[in-house]
Structure 1
Amino acid sequence: MVKPEVNTVLVSICIPTYNGAEYLKETLDSVKQQTFKDFEVIVSDDNSKDNTLNIVEQFKKCVDVPVKTYNHEPQGIGANWNFCVQKATGKYIKFLFQDDILAPTCLEQMVILAETNEAVGLVYAKRDFLFDTDASHYTSWLKKCGVLHESWASLDVEEGIMPGKAYLRDKNLLDMPNNKIGEPSLVLLRKDVFDKVGFFNTELSQTLDFEYWYRLMPYYNVGFVNDYLLTFRLHQDQATQKNNTKKTKDAVLLPRLLMKNLFWYLHARQRIYLIKEVFYISYFFKQIRKIKKKILKIW
């Protein structure tokens, strides 16, 4: 259970860092520009070897909000995210990664929506993109994952609040893009959500964010702000790119977690998908098809 200090601010901006000096100043500048001022900044650093912590110290000198810096023993990205949450004192958690940029009204708009309904556990929005290399390198990814809120089959999420269970019942839930909410920098969370459903699963490396979004949906409402509140930077050094080699483990573990925690909340189409994935039925039929093709070639 999360045992925070007495709440002194409404929002904790949580910034997990590791060798983030190249973009961190721009990220922190976007924090300074927020129209909403009732927040603290939590920086949890995974033993950076560059100028990351010096940039944070300079930031502290030019803001009037609390800025707390912690050294965290590297244990994977999920462990650092969880550590940030444990150190936060706000009613809400607003993750911000070291290479992303908040729109000036990001906190203001998200908090206004969250405060209209105490049952809201998560608020998300739309995001723009910033490319540090040729944008054509990301054409395929953008086609699949560039616009998330339009990927639902039956949900009208133009603006407002809906039960999380309605999201889970959508027949497209686990179709591409798998993460239909967005990256952690795009999300505002109630702090007490972590008391109810636990922390990010540190066994996952590539899918731990949306596994968490979907895990909380049986218990909370979800709010959507129909505005571009984040600029998401795409570059080759980000953790998303580096973790691509670990997808195989997630591909095995994630369906099992979803079946265990969410199976009866899902659309029948997605239940069938999970049964096939967990019990390797899809793999079995793929192997049968391969064998048939070989036999046909022989004949």
Structure 2
Amino acid sequence: MDSALAQTYPNLEIVVSDDASIDATLELIASYKTKTSIPIYIHHHTPNGIGANWNHCVRKANGEYIKFLFQDDVLLPECVALMVAVLEQHQTIALVASKREFIVESSYLNDTSKAWIDTYNDLQCTLDYPVKNAIQVLNRSLFKHQSYFDSPRNKVGEPSTLLFRTSLLDTVGYFREDLKQILDYEFYNRVLKRYSIAIMQEPLVKFRLHGQQATVLNKNNDQTDYVIYDRLMYDDYLWSLNKDMRLYFLKKYNPFVRLVFKGLKRLKRLQWK
């Protein structure tokens, strides 16, 4: 809350979607109402998954832009102002994100967390898109990139790192509520089908790592999200992918292609005999 209220961007509202918290969160947020002229709205939500809570929050927003800030994370003072400036200067860019720094709680600093940071510190490290004026612009050609399916799969950033026009939701839709782990980059895929995404090279967000955050708690869940995701890639993005990945998904989901390759394998075995 302190970092949100410290933003240099002058025209703000703060919208809180309370997913039935049982600690002192609501009392803490309410105490800020007497400390600022920035309007603070608290809307209660019946828990129905992460995506449902995100969608509930953005539906309650009144502004032209949406800037997520999760309770674990911190914004640098110029974050909103700098991100809004990018969108106002580039009409073809629909969503802007930034690099981020990590706040690692001492109790969570171990070999596992260090390995996670090494892997996910730079989400665009495998991409060769040029950087101009400290901004890297991603577009739908990302789907054909050789490293598109490599780790890190999220090539944009966690939701606290991004800002987008509210009107974007009218064209690409809201967050999927049937996903638990990958709903953010599934959303980015829908954006990239139509628009560009800007990655600011300056870290404007501090992303907190601790043992009880959703990312950590969800990582041992079943792989249902990724089953859904692969099917989505086949149904909605197949012809945007490079030829190797097109073939992979055709063999996985297209019964005719699968039959052809099964026949070719059988023919090779017969020839070998």
Question: Which residue in 1 is equivalent to 2:271?
Answer: none
RMSD: 2.0
Q: Look up the SS of the partner of 1:65 in the other structure.
A: coil
Shift in CA distance, 276/108, structure 1 to aligned 2, threshold 3 Å: farther
TM (normalized to structure 2)? 0.87
Shift in CA distance, 161/151, structure 1 to aligned 2, threshold 3 Å: closer
Question: Which residue in 2 is equivalent to 1:91?
Answer: 64
Shift in CA distance, 162/128, structure 1 to aligned 2, threshold 3 Å: closer
Of the three residues 74, 80, 85, the one matched with 1:107 is: 80
Aligned-partner Cα distance in 2 for 1:261–1:130: 37
Aligned-partner Cα distance in 2 for 1:248–1:123: 29
Of the three residues 152, 155, 167, the one matched with 2:129 is: 155
Of the three residues 101, 104, 116, the one matched with 1:131 is: 104
Shift in CA distance, 135/156, structure 1 to aligned 2, threshold 3 Å: farther
With 48-57 and 259-268 compared, the bigger mean Cα shift is at 259-268
Unaligned runs of 5+ residues in structure 1 are: 1-27, 282-299
**1:121 paired to 2:94:** yes
Question: Which residue in 2 is equivalent to 1:204?
Answer: 179
Aligned-partner Cα distance in 2 for 1:66–1:272: 52
8 Å Cα contact 1:155-1:167 kept in structure 2:
no
8 Å Cα contact 2:130-2:137 kept in structure 1:
no
Question: Which residue in 2 is equivalent to 1:267?
Answer: 242
Shift in CA distance, 138/191, structure 1 to aligned 2, threshold 3 Å: same
Unaligned runs of 5+ residues in structure 2 are: 259-273
Q: Look up the SS of the partner of 1:49 in the other structure.
A: coil
**1:58 paired to 2:31:** yes
Opposite residue 66 of structure 2, the aligned amino acid is I
Query: Which structure 1 residue ranges, 4+ long, deviate > 6 Å from structure 2?
Result: none
**1:143 paired to 2:114:** no
Question: Which residue in 1 is equivalent to 2:155?
Answer: 180
Which protein is bigger by CA-based radius of gyration? 2
TM (normalized to structure 1)? 0.79
Q: Matched residues, percent identical?
A: 36
Q: Residue by residue, what CA displacement relative to the aligned partner does 1:68-94 show, whole Å, maximum 9, x if unpaired?
A: 110000000110001111111111111
Question: Which residue in 1 is equivalent to 2:198?
Answer: 223
Q: Residue by residue, what CA displacement relative to the aligned partner does 1:204-236 show, whole Å, maximum 9, x if unpaired?
A: 111110111111111112112110101100001
Opposite residue 55 of structure 1, the aligned amino acid is L
Shift in CA distance, 107/277, structure 1 to aligned 2, threshold 3 Å: farther
Shift in CA distance, 60/275, structure 1 to aligned 2, threshold 3 Å: farther
Shift in CA distance, 67/176, structure 1 to aligned 2, threshold 3 Å: same
Shift in CA distance, 88/276, structure 1 to aligned 2, threshold 3 Å: farther
Shift in CA distance, 102/80, structure 1 to aligned 2, threshold 3 Å: same
8 Å Cα contact 1:173-1:270 kept in structure 2:
no
Shift in CA distance, 108/269, structure 1 to aligned 2, threshold 3 Å: farther
With 65-74 and 128-137 compared, the bigger mean Cα shift is at 128-137
8 Å Cα contact 2:104-2:209 kept in structure 1:
yes
Question: Which residue in 2 is equivalent to 1:76?
Answer: 49
Aligned-partner Cα distance in 2 for 1:267–1:189: 28
- The alpha carbon displacement at 1:258 in A equals 2.1
8 Å Cα contact 1:123-1:189 kept in structure 2:
yes
Count of matched residue positions in the alignment of Structure 1 and Structure 2: 254
**1:190 paired to 2:127:** no
8 Å Cα contact 2:135-2:198 kept in structure 1:
yes
**1:46 paired to 2:19:** yes
- The alpha carbon displacement at 1:31 in A equals 0.7
Aligned-partner Cα distance in 2 for 1:59–1:274: 51
Q: Look up the SS of the partner of 1:174 in the other structure.
A: coil
Alignment of 1:162-173 (within 5 A): 162=137, 164-173=139-148
- The alpha carbon displacement at 1:169 in A equals 2.9
